[in-house]
A = this chain, B = another copy of it.
Amino acid sequence: MTDQTLVSLEPVRSVLESLTQNQVQFTVYDRVRVEPTDASFKEAISFAKAGLFDAFVAVGGGSVIDTCKAANLYASHPDNDFLDFVNAPIGKGLPVTGKVRPLIAVPTTAGTGSETTGVAIFDYEPLKAKTGIASREIRPLLGIVDPLHTLSMPSRVAANSGFDVLCHALESYTALPYHQRSPCPPHPQLRPAYQGSNPISDVWAVHALRVVAKYFKRAVRDPEDLEARSAMHLASVFAGIGFGNAGVHLCHGMSYPITGNVKTYRAQGYNVEHPLVPHGLSVVLTSPAVFNFTSSMCPERHLEAAEILGADVSGVRRSDAGRVLSDTLRTLLWELQVEDGLQALGYSSEDVPALVQGTLPQERVTKLSPRSHTQDDLEELFHQSLKLY
């Protein structure tokens, strides 16, 4: 399973060669939609059901891997309705109890971490909001993380993918601690995939952040910088392992309506026929506002993150932690030539109510924010994110 750009590139070619050499029969599905929708998921599911496959190989970014997870899940559960496993409140959020087929994920972008997680995200077009399926059961059996594959990423794709890594790390490190999450599920099998920050996810988040601080700019600047691109590819895995059990919160929750409501904006470096806000970009644009907002709940972690990203935090008061991390992020975005806020994507103040409405169904992630928030708070965060510099 792959997309129409990748199908003629080296990563897919080498997988097909390997399958052929090892006498594995296969069929290629290359109609994955970049930033998938319920319709594109369903098309892949129909393909998977019809093919009666023993196993799946996904070669691509998060869109491909997520689509393949969904195709695998529903092909193995042919009697279930599409909304059965989709997160509540949009879907029924039923736990997956059956077995899926083996899925091997070969990521070609360095951002999603999807090869490490049990999450598949898509745009639910009837509500113009992103939602997803979250279950440990759909996690790939194996990830093959080959840094040579990321050399095919254009510079802007490397930047946007890296922002996803950055936000995975920052959000999972600052997520509501696991012991403050409530209510407790009545049975361990009903535990959510996202459990809040914990001592294991913290290790991965901080480590990923250190790698980002050291290698991100180099990986964007020079696509041939194999050391930097290798490091970012691994950072994507590391952050994935972290957020895959801790969860993400406001940047991700607010990003879904930002991509879902896109009007005409079409990102550079993506070979697609439709308006597109890349996931990493939609996530990072609210990050200066979000971490300024959340810092009061765990200022030490916000300061530590700012320091890892290069800020001088000596003598900074805890009450200034949010401002310092926010400024550090804004500087990083400026240096990486990121669009100047949601305005540059075609949004204005008038769109904020719709963006807030699109965030409300994302409770699965937004409830992991360390600081509780009202609709007014979300409105304010979107307003602050319209212009960054």
Contact = CB atoms under 8 A, between A and B. Distances in A.
Interface string A163-203: 00000000000000000000000000000000000010001
Interface in A183-232: 199, 203-204, 207
A234 interface: yes
A291 interface: no
A17 B386 CA distance: 58
A293 interface: no
B204 A234 contact: no
A199 to B, nearest CB: 6
Interface in A223-254: 234, 238
Q: Give the dominant DSSP class at A's interface.
A: helix
A204 B234 CA distance: 15
A219 to B, nearest CB: 16
A215 to B, nearest CB: 13
Contacts of A203: 203-204, 207, 238
A234 B199 CA distance: 8
Contacts of A204: 203
Number of copies: 2
Interface residues of A, number: 6
A199 B211 CA distance: 12
A203 B210 CA distance: 11
A153 to B, nearest CB: 20
A207 B200 CA distance: 11
A238 B203 CA distance: 9
Output the residue of A199, A204, A238 with the most chain B CB within 10 A: A199
A255 to B, nearest CB: 27
Nearest to A231: B199
A238 B207 CA distance: 14
A101 to B, nearest CB: 19
A238 B201 CA distance: 12
Output the residue of A207, A234, A238 with the most chain B CB within 10 A: A207
A91 B49 CA distance: 48
A385 to B, nearest CB: 32
A223 to B, nearest CB: 21
Nearest to A206: B207
A49 to B, nearest CB: 31
A203 B207 CA distance: 7
A207 B234 CA distance: 17
Contacts of A199: 234
Nearest to A234: B199
Contacts of A234: 199
A204 B241 CA distance: 13
Nearest to A145: B199
Interface of A: 199, 203-204, 207, 234, 238
6 contacts: A199-B234, A203-B203, A203-B204, A203-B207, A203-B238, A207-B207
The 6 closest A-B pairs by CB, nearest first: A203-B207, A199-B234, A203-B203, A203-B238, A203-B204, A207-B207
